[in-house]
Amino acid sequence: MSGQGLFIAFEGGDGAGKSTQVRLLAAALESLGREVVVTRQPGGTPLGAEIRDLVLHGNHVSPRAEALLFAADKAHHVDQLIRPAMDRGAVVVTDRYTDSSVAYQGAGRDLGAVEVHDLQMWAVDSLVPDLTVIVDISAEEGRSRRGEVHDRLESEADTFHEAIRHHFLAMAQGSPERYLVVDGTLPSDEIHAAVMGRLTSSGLLDGGAA
């Protein structure tokens, strides 16, 4: 399903520390001789950057429009950046992917997890990560880490963020072979070690060195 490359997604609540883990993993994989493409959603392409501005920093966006904008970002992103990178054998590491939409728009916005999942799968032409790492933190911890500056979604109430957290955990429980859940309150080097341990033990790093 994923060509010759490897596709790893980091998911979790706002303030969970995903971006640090993305950086640590990219550096570790590069030192193993792999080509690594780091990206984030929404964003990662010029069109994606415009969608990101509209959906995170613009005025009110109605929930269905929000779901469609996030889906449009992913459709373009997969087609323009992720698939081509995987086709040439690279490891793609993304900060957020389709599970963010299922959790934020499906559960957080009450649009229905199944409907949003189906929309997302259509958008990405069914490209599923080889591994999704959920960096898990409570809504309260996330809020205190984010400080005073909030985008449109971050400024939602703790109940919204708790619903999202539980949705991420439920997705991981439903498909344990495709997920790793790590405690986001652990030191970042321990989280990174857990991610590397899982990639090694599952054989996902075998045979792909440049």
Q: Catalog residues that contact ligand TYD under the rule CB under 6 A.
A: 14, 40-42, 56, 70, 96, 100-101, 104-105, 151, 153-154
- How many C-beta atoms lie closer than 10 Å to residue 13's C-beta? 28
Q: 55: number of CA atoms within 13 Å, CB side?
A: 23
CB of 205 to ligand TYD, least distance (A): 25
Instruction: Give me the least distance between CB of 53 and ligand TYD, in Å please.
Output: 11
Nearer to ligand TYD, 100 or 132 (CB): 100
- Kind and range of the H or E element at 92? strand 91-95
Minimal distance, residue 208 CB to ligand TYD, in Å: 26
Cβ nearer to ligand TYD, comparing 20 with 202: 20
Task: Tell me the binding residues for ATP.
Answer: 12-19
CA 150 to chain centre: 19
Write the DSSP assignment of 79-93 as a string of letters. Answer: IIIIHHHHHTTPEEE
Spatial distance between the Cα atoms of 10 and 8, rounded to a whole number of angstroms: 7
Say how many CA atoms lie within 13 Å of 60 toward its Cβ. Answer: 1
Residues annotated within the binding site are: 12-19
Smaller CB separation from ligand TYD, 34 or 111: 111
Q: How far is the CB of 146 from ligand TYD (least distance, A)?
A: 8
Q: 132 - beta bridge partners?
A: 9, 179
Of residues 5 and 13, the one with the C-beta less far from ligand TYD: 13
